[in-house]
Structure 1
Amino acid sequence: MVSKIKLLLAEDESALGQIIKESLETRDFEVILCDNGEKAFEKYKSESPEILVLDVMMPKKDGFTLAKEIRAIDDTIPIIFLTAKSQTADVVEGFSIGGNDYLKKPFSMEELIVRIYNLLSRTKVQKASKILEIGNYIFDFPKQRLQFKDEETIQLTHREAHLLFHLINNKNQVLDRSVILNKLWGTDDFFSARSMDVFITKLRKKLKKDETIQIINVRGFGYKLTV
């Protein structure tokens, strides 16, 4: 049995939302429909969709604001914006805050579906490239799992996984403390910095089986992962 693709649709025009939902459901999508940005954000956190289709103009929280909040905690999920706006500045803004595609109303369902499948296919390839090796560990970033040799996998939290991903991508280089705090915590204040120190300690414990791996505190600058 083919598993359904879970899609979150945020669209405040009820008629259009239902049309899109029903059309996608005939093509083996599981569609979570929300009529405002606040509901969509809550459903994103509780339902873990694979792709987002967001109307730009929505009550309570618009699509751009919603996308910014999601991108602050998830830099991989594909996002398609739906909009009646046609100004170049709006298109540019949509891409600059992390949108992957942009569809102007009115549009055909076939075009939307093609764009969804293209993004999902591209994301699958990108995720496959995020299986990383570090010493004797295999790190599956999309699944947030860490495995030492052939032993059982360790499940990481969302923040642990993203922090480790950035450390590995900057291996043997200093990872700027302020930059990573703003990216993962949204602020570089004292309390967030202390929280980051706690996560670094947790990662050190989870990587301790390979003694060649070290996460070094570079005082005043940040952290450096060495192997």
Structure 2
Amino acid sequence: MATHKILLAEDELALGTIVKESLETRGFDVVFCGDGEEAKTQYTAQKPELLVLDVMMPKKDGFTLVKEIRQMDEHIPIIFLTAKSRTEDVVEGFGYGANDYVKKPFSMEELIVRIKALLDRKSGQNNGSESVEIGQYSFNFAKQTLTYKGSDQMLTHREAQLLQALYEHKNELTDRSLILNTLWGNDDFFNARSMDVFITKLRKKLAQDEQIQILNVRGYGYKLVC
């Protein structure tokens, strides 16, 4: 079984050490950093498969780090560790490109489940390469690309997942709770807000074809019209 390399950035040494050792006992190869600048350097040097990042770190905070990493890699799964409870902070994290978040204090089992789920989804992208037509766009889930008249746009992991879910029910109402429970693991308020952020991003990326709409049916869900 291949070992997955994870980059962990956490400025609380005791917590970081516990998380590192716990992940290593589960077979993960963990690179542990104590601040955002070190994490950026190690990301470039180590080429990890997944990032687990604290939001509040010295030298470079998690939001800034993710913004910089997303300019280099649109696809690597990223999980935020956050003690923040304000909805705006969680939504901001997803807006910068995070795939998931775990609120402190958390159980190691919860973190490991979320890590495995993201790695499994990333692996699943390589199982097929067929493109589907969405209006004038060509959508390739495996490659996470949207192509319009020969020009490619890269999608993030979560954007591709969400668009795939909408496409599978195109021209039909898609239950909001179903998407949230399938992709985010539950349909709580924080996850619902983050999904709204991704819907807005997808609308912008599909805007060149005026015949495509993602409708919000209040109280129920979304409908991809194409």
- For this structure pair, what is the TM-score category when the shorter chain's length is used for normalisation? 0.5 to 0.7
The aligned residue for residue 105 of structure 1 is: 104
Counterpart among 149, 157, 170 of residue 147 in structure 2: 170
Matching residue's letter, 2:28 = F
Q: Secondary structure, in 3 states, of the residue corresponding to 2:72?
A: coil
Q: Partners in 2 of 1:94 and 1:65 — Cα distance?
A: 10
Task: Please list the CA deviations of residues 174-202 of structure 1 after superposition, one character each: whole Å capped at 9, or x if unmatched.
Answer: 539xx89xxxxxxxxxxxxxxxxxxxxxx
User: Unpaired runs of 5+ in structure 2?
Assistant: 132-141, 155-226
- Partners in 2 of 1:89 and 1:129 — Cα distance? 36
Cα distance in 2 for residues equivalent to 1:131 and 1:7: 29
Quote the RMSD (CA, aligned, Å): 2.4
How far apart, CA to CA, are the structure 2 residues paired with 1:117 and 1:3?
13
| Mapped partners of 1:106, 1:130: distance in 2 | 40
Separation in 2 of the partners of 1:10 and 1:34? 5
The one-letter code of the counterpart of 1:170 is T
Instruction: Return the alpha-carbon distance in structure 2 between the equivalents of residues 122 and 108 of structure 1.
Output: 22
Q: Which runs of 5+ in 1 are unaligned?
A: 133-140, 143-164, 181-227
1:92 counterpart = 2:96: no
Q: Larger relative CO (CA 8 A, sep 6+): 1 or 2?
A: 2
What is the Cα deviation at residue 70 of structure 1?
Answer: 0.6
Tell me the residue number matched to 1:20.
19
Name the counterpart of 1:8. 7
Which position in structure 2 is the counterpart of 1:118? 117
Query: Do the aligned partners of residues 127 and 93 (structure 1) sit closer, same or farther apart at CA in structure 2, a change above 3 Å counting?
Result: farther
**C-alpha distance in structure 1 between counterparts of 2:39 and 2:33, whole Å:** 6
Residues 122 and 14 (structure 1), Cα distance of their counterparts in 2 relative to 1, 3 Å cut: same
Percent identical pairs in the alignment equals 60
1:20 and 1:123 map into 2 onto residues whose CA distance is: 22
How far off is 1:125 after superposition?
Answer: 1.3
**For the structure 1 residues 175 and 69, does the alpha-carbon distance in structure 2 shift closer, same or farther, using more than 3 Å as the test?**
same
Partner SS state of residue 3, structure 1: coil
TM-score (norm 2): 0.59
SS class of match (2:102): strand
Query: Residue in 2 aligned with 1:135?
Result: none
Q: Which residue of 2 aligns with 1:54?
A: 53
Deviation at 1:131, TM superposition (A): 7.6
What residue identity is the alignment partner of 1:23? S
* C-alpha separation in 2, matches of 1:127 and 1:76: 12
Q: Deviations over 1:154-211 (max 9, x none)?
A: xxxxxxxxxxx86xx426x1539xx89xxxxxxxxxxxxxxxxxxxxxxxxxxxxxxx
Could you tell me how far 1:3 is from its partner in structure 2?
Answer: 2.4
Structure 1 letter corresponding to 2:53: L
Amino acid at match of 2:115: I
- Looking at CA atoms only, which structure, 1 or 2, has the larger radius of gyration? 1
Q: Structure 1 segments of 4 or more deviating over 4 A?
A: none
User: 1:72 is matched with which residue?
Assistant: 71
